[in-house]
Amino acid sequence: ALRGRHHQEHPRTQMAHALPSLTYDYAALEPFVDATTMNIHHTKHHQAYINNLNTALDKHSELKSLSLEELNIKVTTLPEDVRTAIRNNGGGHWNHTMFWKWMAPVGSVNHAPIGSLKAAIDKDFGSFDVLKEKFNAAAAARFGSGWAWLGVKEDGSLGITSTPNQDNPMMDGVADVKMTPILGLDVWEHAYYLKYQNRRADYLASWWNIVNFDTVVELYDAQAKK
């Protein structure tokens, strides 16, 4: 029976990637991230990565059975004619899908680590303040476009790194430091320029007010189980 536009005729083929909805309004992160930026960032930049990713996957339909995460991890093994496009746009899609979940309106979630994540942060960095300092340093030092990351390294400890453009630490053979990201911050200028202009440091300082540590804790705990 037909069940509307989401009815799949070929179960093995995954549906094209689509823009995930935010769980909050564009204005909900004000005054730390402005509404216009959230709107353009979501509907234009993220959408463009998705469109370009779908176009690349159309050239190699066998890749459509891979999850977005797998596409990122295995990016260096992908066919050469789509490798860069998938690295840039598959990376962009994953990074931004997570980014929206790593933020939440003030007061709606924990904005500081709790539980086993807090213990891990205290152990690996000394304190949450030191973590923020090091994370901000990595974010400030990323020259050009890129992301700063907090992640779980292969030995289970926490690490901080940054990557250029739309790379991320999951990408085998690409990232300097291989980690499973549990928190990421977009430092492309489009993420902050309308409100902060050249003052990336101000953006970094503000951003911590809206970090959704419930998501971070969830990701950490899931990783700790593995």
Q: Which residues bind another protein (CB under 8 A)?
A: 40, 44-45, 48, 88, 143-146, 164-166, 188-190, 193-194, 197-198
Task: Tell me which residue has tokens 């746009």.
Answer: 89
DSSP string, 182-202: EEEEE-SGGGTHHHHTT-HHH
Lookup: tokens for 63: 């890749």
Tell me the C-alpha to C-alpha distance, in Å, between residue 67 and each of 15, 57, 90, 101, 214: 11, 12, 10, 18, 24
Give the C-alpha separation, 194 to 176, whole Å: 31
Cβ contacts of 73 within 8 Å, gap of 6 or more: 170, 171, 172
Among residues 92, 119, 16, the alpha carbon closest in space to that of 58 is found at 16
What single-letter DSSP state applies at residue 11?
Answer: T
Min dist CB 67 to another protein, Å, is 23
Nearer to another protein, 21 or 143 (CB): 143
Nearer to another protein, 125 or 203 (CB): 203
Nearer to another protein, 44 or 123 (CB): 44
Nearer to another protein, 27 or 194 (CB): 194
Min dist CB 145 to another protein, Å, is 4
CA 46 from centroid of its chain's CA atoms: 11
Q: Is 51 exposed, middle or buried (0-12, 13-18, 19+ CB in 10 A)?
A: middle
Nearer to another protein, 88 or 212 (CB): 88
Min dist CB 198 to another protein, Å, is 4
Nearer to another protein, 123 or 199 (CB): 199
